[in-house]
Structure 1
Amino acid sequence: MRAPAPSYPHPARLILILSLAPTVGLGIGRFAYSLVLPDMRDSLAWSYSAAGFMNTINAAGYLAGALFASRLIQRFGLATSVRWSTLACVLSLALCAVSGNFVVLSFARLLAGFAAAIGFVGGGALAATIAQSRPERANFLLSLFYAGPGIGILASGLVAPFVLQGFGAGSWWIVWWAMTLLSAIMTVPLLLAPFHAGPAAGGIVRTKFAVMPVLIYLTGYFLFGAGYIAYMTFMIAYVRDGGGGAVAQSAFWSLIGVSAFVTPWVWRRVLALNRGGLATTIILGVNALGAALPIFGHAPLLLAISALVFGVAFFAVVGSTTAFVRYNYPPEAWPTAIAAMTIAFGIGQTLGPIVVGAITDAVGSLSFALNVSAAMLALGALLSAFQRKVGP
């Protein structure tokens, strides 16, 4: 028998404020790197492998954060963990601005990944708890949390390309300062929001998580992590290589972010199917389609459609896994189960960038690497279709 969910008088508003954690940790802390990657690679004389390593070390930090998340949440509670992890993400952005040293930048990316995972696991569990206070709207409310990264992607896409254009080559560090300021401002509402303690927000009880019943689902999510990160790491370089300037880069990146705002409405009925892996299969299949479109060329319309299709599904894939957890596990198991999903995802995105970067260096073609990315997403969608409901 599940304990009754605590009452939250304004659940949508609270979840939107809570979504600022992944806005900072993921939308800006992880993905803004793609916008400054071409300038950093040119200025610091990096290979594609070195450039990919920066996202690999970020993903390794994310994996480590996922592994420790449930312990930290158990000790400090959901809200406190989310707030402090978001502040750590802001610090990591400042570190990226102060040095071009590879070791310092690697540490900053590692810290950003570690803190983002804590914020994501804690935020996801808290968002699920808040959403559960309105069962009839729970899927929609939960989707609001996963729109958070899109806000960060949109904001960074409207700022970074034009800062680079305005200050010229070698101004990547100025972009990081701009991202630091933007993130600091976004963190303020998160620090002030009244997230009161409830059964899943304080006094967390660690529970055991059985891998075998969901092994195929975890494998599909692993492939999503490996596949999506290649697209998000190298697509700005792909747009630039095709002749796209600051406006084209900003438009492409912003379209990915804008698509997040329609995610709650587009997928709410699909998410209601998520007793097994069906919802994830549908959404991840659309994500694979969006990732595959650049294979056919650099035409602006094609790239715009790719960004919109990829973006509207990308944010929903993550939401579908939390919905899967909410349907299949009791509330006290949500932080542990979400952490397990995040670990599988983290392993995939740790391997993805460095492998795709190495493929690009070896073959000399970003198009080939993007083909591999789309194929991994499609395979993940196929595997998820075989996942059935957990338990009775």
Structure 2
Amino acid sequence: MHTQDYLAQDRRPPPDAHPARLILTLSLAATVGLGIGRFAYALVLPDMRDDLGWSYSAAGFMNTINAVGYLAGALMASRLIRLVGWSAAIRGGTVACVAALALCALTGNFFALSLARLVLGVGAAAGFVAGGALAATVAQSRPERANFLLSLFYAGPGIGILASGLIAPYTLAHFGPGSWWIVWWAMALLSAAMTIPLFLVRIESKARFTEAGHASFEILPVLVYLAAYFLFGAGYIAYMTFMIAYVRDGGGGAAAQAAFWSLIGMSAFVTPWVWRRVLALDRGGLATAIILGTNALGASLPIFGHSTAWLSISAVVFGVAFFAVVGSTTAFVRFNYPHEVWPSAIAAMTISFGIGQTLGPIVVGAITDVLGSLSYALNVSAALLALGAMAALCQRRVRPKGSVP
């Protein structure tokens, strides 16, 4: 998950748009594409796996193919926006997500579902990257409120996680085993409703992407940091893919599943206040290491028990850190590179992260199939995040602070 994959030169917001209202509207693309499109899958995975006879590897593959689509979409986003414009990229990507969610409700065919998950990834990337870059230009046009304004966009996935967490478990409980397709219809209809405001507000902009050359960004000085972000991508997605199945296997019913997922979603709303001082640290990878270490702690807690209190603490600790990691990588780039290098640097971060979240679900699913318990999936998830924290801690500043505008 990365919002500021590309940075625009023109920092003026589109005319006739209130900054907070516009960013909240843009965040709906993230709500649909990621909060619902990517993460709601974990809520229906247990029922789909039972009804369709999937292995954990097959279940993990559905998030792997989604991540492949997201990575491809993120890499094509800048060209897409140049070709069709900001509004078409954001609206079109989000509509594609709604259509793919509807397809998930129409079939149990593995290949058709894989295609739907792929399209969801591409559409989410188009809406999320374009919306995030435009939100950044809007936020930067109000320097005194920039952090607050941009945090409104970051809350988008959390809103989707919260909404799906309140709907999916109770829908499955009401309609019984094999009702996963009804949940997908509910998610498609909810997403369609959330897409409407994107067509009711002007979201076009004169902002253009910078054309920084890739030669100005060197990978070697930040190789360890890229490795940390790769490990985060692999570790977080394993937790977010299989955790609901773990809660259900431990006896958690609809209320427990809804509460757990909703706590993760609600954590998005407190993230900016919890981490604002940590994100201000200009000490190499220290901020990312602290946040990733907290993320690893949250992921490891369910290993020690299934109690409601224990799982609730895990959801809050994981969620608060999860939503802050992307912000820490953006802060790292801003502290260590001049403005003209930001697009290349953040693109490199996106690729590293994308590869990690592509490999994570299917590898962890295969490990679970071999060893026979979801506890191993959580162990691997927590270990990957802890390794990521240690790698980030080894990252030093790339250049003196005084050289950054």
TM-score past 0.5 threshold: yes
Q: Deviations over 1:74-95 (max 9, x none)?
A: 3334443222111111111011
Give the CA deviation at 1:196: 4.4
Q: 1:19 aligns to what SS in structure 2?
A: helix
Task: Rate the CA distance shift 1:273–1:138 in 2: closer, same or farther, 3 A.
Answer: farther
Q: Deviations over 1:30-75 (max 9, x none)?
A: 0110000011001101111111111111111112122222322333
CA deviation after TM superposition for structure 1 residue 143, in Å: 2.3
Distance 1:101 1:3 in 2: 45
Name the structure 1 match of 2:65: 57
Contact 1:74–1:205 under 8 Å retained in 2: no
Match status 1:202 vs 2:208: yes
Q: Distance in 2 between matches of 1:12 and 1:211?
A: 36
Identity %: 75
CA–CA distance in 2 between the matches of 1:233 and 1:289?
17
Q: Give 5+ residue unaligned stretches, structure 2.
A: 1-7
From 4, 15, 30, give the equivalent of 2:23. 15
Pick the aligned partner of 2:299 from 255, 270, 291: 291
- When structure 1 is superposed on structure 2, of 292-301 and 80-89 the one drifting more is 80-89
Aligned to 1:226: 234
Please, what TM-score do these two structures have when normalized by structure 2? 0.90
Residue 154 of structure 2 is matched in structure 1 by 146
1:240 corresponds in structure 2 to 248
Do 2:169 and 2:254's aligned partners in 1 also have CA atoms closer than 8 Å?
yes
Structure 1 unaligned runs (5+)?
none
- 3-state DSSP class of the match of 2:306? coil
Name 1:276's counterpart in structure 2: 284
Deviation at 1:231, TM superposition (A): 0.5
CA distance in 1, matches of 2:394, 2:66: 31
Confirm whether residue 91 of structure 1 aligns to residue 102 of structure 2: no
Q: 1:158 maps to what in 2?
A: 166
CA deviation after TM superposition for structure 1 residue 327, in Å = 4.1
User: Could you tell me which of 176, 182, 189 is aligned with 1:168?
Assistant: 176
CA displacement, residues 153-174 of structure 1 (integer Å, 9 cap, x when unaligned): 0000000011111111111111
Report the TM-score when normalising by structure 1. 0.93
Match of 1:71 in 2: 79
Tell me, yes or no, if the aligned pair for 2:9 and 2:208 is still in contact at 8 Å: no
Rounded Cα–Cα distance in structure 2 between residues aligned with 1:274 and 1:141: 22
Check whether the contact 1:28–1:156 (CA below 8 A) recurs between aligned residues. yes
**Residues 78, 218 of structure 1: alpha-carbon distance in 2 compared, 3 angstrom cutoff:** farther
Aligned residues: 389
1:259 aligns with 2:267: yes
Structure 1 distance, partners of 2:337, 2:156, is 24
- Greater Cα shift, 382-391 or 109-118: 382-391
Deviation at 1:119, TM superposition (A): 2.2
Q: Distance in 2 between matches of 1:44 and 1:240?
A: 17
1:322 to 320, 325, 330: 330
Offset of residue 139 of structure 1: 2.7
Which of 46, 50, 67 aligns to 2:54? It is: 46
Question: Are 1:371 and 2:379 an aligned pair?
Answer: yes
Q: Tell me: CA distance 1:266–1:237, structure 2 relative to 1, closer, same or farther (3 Å).
A: same
| Shift in Å, 1:332 | 5.8
Greater displacement, 179-188 / 277-286? 277-286
Q: Which moved more, 1:329-338 or 1:185-194?
A: 329-338
Q: Secondary structure at the match of 1:289?
A: helix
- Cα RMSD, aligned residues only: 2.1
